[in-house]
Homo-oligomer: A and B are copies of this chain.
């Protein structure tokens, strides 16, 4: 019984979604329908499920994790979680961009880099930093990756993230970021995915270390 409960929970879908029909789910789990029903009954009593005769069995909508937008999800995550995801995604995106960017993409990337190199305030630097990352993601031509980057950029402009950045950034650090950005852009221009990946990983590693240093 505990085994069945565990396996049903493990198969939990997102809120509001429908479980397979009992007869089908029982077959999938390799148990009798009565046995499954007993376990479902427990889950219903615990409040995880809603069961409607003639309609089906659904994961209860609590409104807590209601499948919000990507930015809202990011807001609910910790800085460490977000940086971890960035470190997973952004080096790979840079590598993809190195092999996939068009001439126009390269122009957009170089233009954003130039603007960030000449930025005269943190706000301006932040803006072009964000644009540079977005242009790299645009060059991947993968809509999901672009969505991700846009979500990051929308978060970074919010007061609490901006304040966090402000506390961790120095003039010298911007110069470090500039050099890291340049290395990454050079690698993309040279169509070298490995170098692009490494350069972006190094850059984000530095960003993370500095952010974590002020938390």
B-contacting residues of A (Cβ < 8 Å)? 2, 6-7, 10-11, 13-14, 17-18, 24, 27-30, 66-71, 73-74, 76-78, 81-82, 84-85, 88-89, 92-93, 96, 108, 111-112, 115, 120-121, 123-124, 127, 130-131, 134-135, 142-145, 147, 150-151, 153-154, 157
In the complex, A1→B124 CA distance in Å?
A: 19
Nearest B residue (CB) for A153 = B13
Residues of B within 8 A of A2 (CB): 17-18
4 A-B pairs besides A10-B135, A30-B124, A67-B151 with CB distance below 8 A are A10-B111, A10-B134, A67-B147, A82-B144
Find out whether the CB atom of B73 lies under 8 angstroms from the CB atom of A10. Answer: no
| A145:B85 contact, CB within 8 angstroms | yes
- Chain B residue numbers with a CB within 8 Å of A73 are 70, 143-144, 147
* Contact A69 B68, beta carbon cutoff 8 Å: yes
Per assembly, the copies of the chain total 2
- Smallest CB gap from A76: residue in B: B143
* Contact residue among B13, B30, B145 (Cβ-Cβ distance under 8 Å from A157): B13
Closest B-chain residue to A78, C-beta based?
Answer: B143
A28 near B127 with CB under 8 A, answer yes
Per CB-CB distance, the 6 closest pairs between chain A and chain B, nearest first, are: A67-B69, A88-B92, A81-B142, A85-B144, A28-B124, A77-B144
A100 CB to nearest chain B CB (Å): 10
Complex interface: chain B residues within 8 A of A111 (CB): 6-7, 10
Report which of B27, B76, B154 forms a contact with A121, defined as CB distance below 8 A: B27
A17 near B145: Cβ-Cβ < 8 Å:
no
B150–A14 CB distance below 8 A = yes
CB contacts (< 8 Å) of A88 on chain B: these are 88-89, 92-93, 145
Residues of B within 8 A of A96 (CB): 84
CA of A82 to CA of B142, assembled, Å? 8
Name A70's contact: one of B67, B124, B131, B135 (CB within 8 Å): B67
CB distance from A55 to the nearest CB of B (A): 9
CA separation between A71 and B89, bound complex, in Å? 18
